Structures are given as C-alpha cells and as structure tokens.
Structure 1
C-alpha cells in the first residue's frame, strides 16, 4: 500500500526531511498590507521575510489557509492517484481552521476519487484520515516524523492511524517568546484578549518571560522567569530531563524565529543535544514558519516531544 503524508506549512520541520519523505505541504498565505507571501516551508524565503521591513508590521498580518475546495483539488489532481492511503496532519483545530477545512475536504474527496483513480488505471479504494495534532509549531512535527518512521518500517495504515491518534494526546510543545508586546498586539489583531496590555507592559518592564505550553489543543503559561535566556535555558534543561526520563517517540523537534545559529548559541541548547545523543533521540531543527513568526514574533524558541503526563519544573 502506498501511504502518503500531508502537513500544513505551519508545521516546523526541516525542508530536507519534508523532501526526503515526500511530505506534501498545504501552503498558508500571509498578507501584510499589500504584501503577500505564500508559505511553502522555504527557510530562505522565511528569513528574507524576517529581515525585511514587512516583519515590523507582522502583528497585523492576515493568514489565509487552503480552503476545503483547494484541498479537494490538490487531492483529486494528484494525491488520490499517487497514494492509496493519505494521512493529513494539521495544526491544532483550536487555533486554526485548517483542520476543519481538511475535514470538509475529506468528504468531498472520498465522494469523488474514483474517476481520477480509474483514469490512471487504478480501481482499488482510496482512504484518507485527517488528524488534529492538537499542537503548534515544531510540536506539530512529532506526528509526521513518527508516521514516516512507521511507514518505512512497513507498518499497515491502521496501525499508523492508531499510533498517530494516540500520540496527538501525548505531544507537548513548550515556547518562550522574546517580545510580549508583539504577542499582545498580535492577539488583539486576531480578537484574542488573553494577553492584556497590563500583563505585557509589566512583563516587559520587569523582563519577565513566560514559558508557554501547548497540549491537547490548549495553550497557556506554565512558568514565568526573569530574562529571556534564563527562561530558554530552563526550558531546554527541562526538555533534557524529559528525554532522560523516557519519551514516547525517539524524537525532539526545535524551531526558532530567526537564523538557527541564534538558537544554537542559547544556554542549555548543548545540554539538550547531549541528552538526546545519549538516549538515541533524533533532533529536528528548523526555522519557524512565516505563519508562526507572524503569530509569536521574532526570536521565539519552541521545543516539542511526546511524553507521559508530567509537570513543568
């Protein structure tokens, strides 16, 4: 059985992994004023965006995901012919309409796939499963990495589906933002009042940085630490302890809102990599997507992994 994998461009994984594993990317369009950029997970393009004057107005950006009709067309034109079973793994449905759009598209695809498959000489059934990863940024990448690993091992589609749905409930993403004002302004632009002006001003004045956790579709602070670098170091050291305690997949994902050398110079980074090496855990590093950066700003750091239930300490 030919198994295909699809993610959206908010999924922070290295381009070489996506190309090697032939992972299809649903692009997200970012519009800032008159400037429009289609996010195809091109790191050079993302960095050029970051360094341009456009990034200064990113808090007011509009992000436009593929519609159900665009997703349907992509599948019917190519994917239903190239594959027999496709897993579409999306950013958490609590923060984006992509999951809902893919779900709607799946009904249309399953109704209409027979003709294009027959025209290609294939009369066997086609199957599709849309999975809400329940997470964001590089934490979203835990599922497609595991899917690729299971596919390479020859696991059947049903086994892969069960495993991915289980992992979605046990995937954690931890983020330290650099600029609370940016997050507050971005939240307000999207109609989200969860970050108040007072909180942003107080945090900036005192140089207090939150550690935010994404898990099962929810996001919120789990710690507040003075200073960006100390907050990142605490997050990295915590992740290293989780690695040594035992993960549910041999994978840690990292992403950064800027050049990766900036992340690699942060305190705690080397200790986290050492822990991963000791435990035979593979590390995937990527520049944060354009979509991600317009939502949390430059310089944010995220680490993702799947693990048993735990508390941040």
Structure 2
C-alpha cells in the first residue's frame, strides 16, 4: 500500500530531529548577504545567520527554491509509489509555492503530488507539517492527510513581536502593517500573520509591554493546542518564555528558533507565539 511523503521548504523552522523522525524533505530557500548567496539549513545555520545580520551593512534577502529543486524532491519522495504532499510558506509572502506548483505540473502523470498553501510561516507551518506526518504515520491516505492539513490551516495563529519594521518595509512584506510605519521609530510593533499576510495587531512603547500584549492575546485565545514559543536569537527570550509559562504550563508548549528565511524579513530580536485554536466538534 502506497504511503504519503511530505515535502516543505526551509521556512518551516522544524528542528532536524523532528524532520528526520518523520522523514520530511526540506527544499531550502537561499539567503543573500550582498553578493554572497547561502543555502538555508545547509550552508547557513540560524545562529550564523543572526551573527552575520548583526554585522552586515544592509539587509539580507531571500530567494525561493527553483521549480527544479522541488521537482527533484518530488521525484525522490515519490520514487516508491508514495503520494507526495508539499506544504509551503504562505503564497502571499513568497514565490515558493509557485515554484512548487510548477514542479508539480512537471511530474503530472508520473506522481501524485498535492501542493498546499499553509497560509503560515515558521512554527505555524511546522505544526501543520507535524500534524500531517502524525496522520500519515497512523495510516491515513493522501486524501485524509490533506484533510488534516486543510482543517489545521484556519486554526493556525501566529503573532510576532518585532524590534523594528525596517526589514519588513524594505523587503516589501509589510502588508496590512503599513499604517504603523509613521511611528515605527517610537513603537514596538506586534504583527499577526494568522491569515498568511502581515497585519497590524498592536503597537506599544516598550519591549515589556510588547511581551505582555502577546500574553494577553494568548489569554484571549482560551484553550489552545500545539503552542510554540518562538524567538530569533532574542536576548530576552527566556523572560518571554517565563511569562508564557504563567499562562500555559511549560510541559504544554515547545520552543522554536525563527530561522533565516523569516528572520531576514522580520529582523533581529523577534519573539512570537504560534498555536492551533481548539478544534470544534
């Protein structure tokens, strides 16, 4: 009986042990520092990325994988007759999904490939992948795994506290947070990416108030599942995790590092939370 294989891109920020445990294939984006181009997760770790960004005179840029890179991944994943599901970073924020769709057309007739827009980023995408992998491991067929993902997408919430809007502004991903630009030097912005685009969630004056704003949003969410506390090598990440733990016990959330793809656009010292809204019966 054919199984289901999962392919994604490197914006998922899943730890390598989780990737290996579920046999997930990651097609990496590339990160550019001026004329130097590095492959995410292969030539560039999160730690090295933030170190470089701190000394780089300019803003790093990202580039989507080529359709050829996705085609190669699809053919390897489906070589034994397994169906392939490719879950990508939000199509509103990257050309990655378009590359995956082009690759899927190239293998049409040879492989069963389903390309799905996660409408998410970082640990939100990672959570959807984990749910899909667990379903596949439990014997779900490709249509059933697709249904699991489609049910999770509208339940996925992502809120981020940024230290600056400069990266989003220059990278052109600022979306509905555009209105905050006039005061961006005097506020600590909070953005909501739950619909796959960047929207303004709030703006406060200090980092501590930013953290408390995020905590209030978590409290308002009520019962949540698969909570992940994220940061981009933020020096106050432990302080934020301590605040989260006052609302949700530590054993009920995990930690994740925001990798180079999202870090390039969100900037340094990001903090954030992702969760699934409780499923309704």
TM-score bracket relative to the smaller structure? 0.7 to 0.9
Counterpart position of 1:118: none
Structure 1 residue 217: Cα displacement: 2.5
CA distance in 2 between counterparts of 1:26 and 1:272 reads: 36
Structure 1 residue 253: Cα displacement: 2.4
CA distance in 1 between counterparts of 2:22 and 2:58 reads: 31
CA distance in 1 between counterparts of 2:32 and 2:206 reads: 32
Counterpart position of 1:246: 223
Which runs of 5 or more structure 1 residues have no equivalent in the other structure? Answer: 114-125
Written as runs of structure 1 = structure 2, the 5 A alignment for 1:190-229 is 199-200=180-181, 202-205=183-186, 208-229=187-208
CA distance in 1 between counterparts of 2:12 and 2:200 reads: 21
Seen in structure 2, the aligned counterparts of structure 1 residues 184 and 216 have a Cα distance that, compared at 3 Å, is closer
Seen in structure 2, the aligned counterparts of structure 1 residues 83 and 221 have a Cα distance that, compared at 3 Å, is farther
Written as runs of structure 1 = structure 2, the 5 A alignment for 1:14-163 is 14-40=15-41, 45-52=45-52, 56-57=56-57, 59=59, 61-76=60-75, 78-82=76-80, 84-111=82-109, 113=110, 126-163=111-148
Q: 8 Å contact 2:228–2:273 — kept in the other structure?
A: yes
TM-score by length of 2: 0.87
What is the root-mean-square deviation in Å for CA atoms of aligned residues?
A: 2.7
TM-score by length of 1: 0.78
Which runs of 5 or more structure 2 residues have no equivalent in the other structure? Answer: none
Seen in structure 2, the aligned counterparts of structure 1 residues 146 and 132 have a Cα distance that, compared at 3 Å, is same
CA distance in 2 between counterparts of 1:195 and 1:221 reads: 4
CA distance in 2 between counterparts of 1:37 and 1:54 reads: 16
Seen in structure 2, the aligned counterparts of structure 1 residues 72 and 258 have a Cα distance that, compared at 3 Å, is same
Counterpart position of 1:3: 4
Seen in structure 2, the aligned counterparts of structure 1 residues 81 and 193 have a Cα distance that, compared at 3 Å, is closer
Structure 1 residue 199: Cα displacement: 4.4
Counterpart position of 1:119: none
